[in-house]
């Protein structure tokens, strides 16, 4: 997985994708590649990627499923190449049948686990440092309590 969270799609090396949960029922699958590669992978149709289609999200399906397409150019070997960023919002069971979805989901979950572990380590370090400071303050403050072995030394009892 790359630093930006994208993974290569197996059997389609020129496609990159990432995934993350979207609400309670949907998962967002973000594919980046040439239109021909997206169509060959079976994640898009020519109609979905047509240049005359408006940019942005499309109407929602019955389960809230929808897609969005952004198009841009990159220069490859001195030639401008049109690239597409396709985002599919799908129900998890439907999404897992798409190319690369399992790998991308596993990479996303690994990143989330690493982030949780990193946050837990940060909190642990902060708590340890706070406890050490508290112990230093307690050791430096004069105590109002009299040690038990001197509690009755020199005391006078009145009758």
> Closest Cα partner for 38 from 88, 2, 108?
88
> Closest Cα partner for 50 from 38, 66, 62, 65?
38
Could you tell me the strand order of the sheet in which 66-76 lies?
7-9, 12-22, 26-34, 79-91, 66-76, 56-57
Residue 11, sorted as left (phi over 0), alpha (psi -120 to 50) or beta, turns out to be: left
Tokens (6 digits) for 35: 């239109």
Per-residue pLDDT at 1 exceeds 80:
no
pLDDT at 155: 59
**Residues 6+ away with beta carbon under 8 Å from 132:** none
pLDDT at 78: 92
Per-residue pLDDT at 148 exceeds 80:
no
Q: Residue 129: enclosing H or E segment and its boundaries?
A: helix 101-140
Tokens (6 digits) for 159: 């009758």
Q: How confident is the model at residue 58 (pLDDT cuts 50, 70, 90)?
A: low
**Looking at per-residue confidence, does 53 or 100 come out higher?**
100
- Residues 106/56, Cβ–Cβ less than 8 Å: no
Q: How confident is the model at residue 50 (pLDDT cuts 50, 70, 90)?
A: confident
pLDDT at 149: 57
Residue with tokens 């798409």: 98
Pairing of strands 66-76, 7-9: unpaired
Tokens (6 digits) for 12: 């389609």
Rounded to whole angstroms, how far apart are CA atoms 128 and 132?
6
Q: How confident is the model at residue 123 (pLDDT cuts 50, 70, 90)?
A: very high
pLDDT at 128: 92
């Amino acid at each position: 997985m790359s630093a930006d969270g994208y993974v290569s799609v197996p059997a389609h090396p020129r496609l990159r994708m990432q995934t993350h949960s979207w609400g309670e029922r949907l998962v967002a699958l973000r594919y980046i590649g040439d239109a021909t590669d997206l169509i060959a992978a079976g994640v898009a149709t020519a109609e979905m990627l047509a240049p005359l289609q408006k940019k942005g999200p499309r109407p929602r399906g019955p389960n809230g499923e929808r897609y969005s397409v952004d198009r841009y150019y990159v220069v490859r070997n001195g030639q401008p190449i049109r690239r597409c960023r396709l985002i599919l919002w799908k129900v998890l069971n439907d999404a897992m049948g798409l190319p690369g979805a399992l790998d991308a989901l596993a990479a996303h979950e690994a990143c989330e686990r690493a982030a949780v572990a990193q946050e837990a380590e940060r909190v642990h370090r902060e708590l340890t440092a706070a406890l050490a400071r508290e112990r230093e303050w307690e050791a430096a403050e004069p105590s109002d309590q009299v040690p038990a072995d001197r509690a009755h030394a020199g005391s006078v009892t009145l009758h």
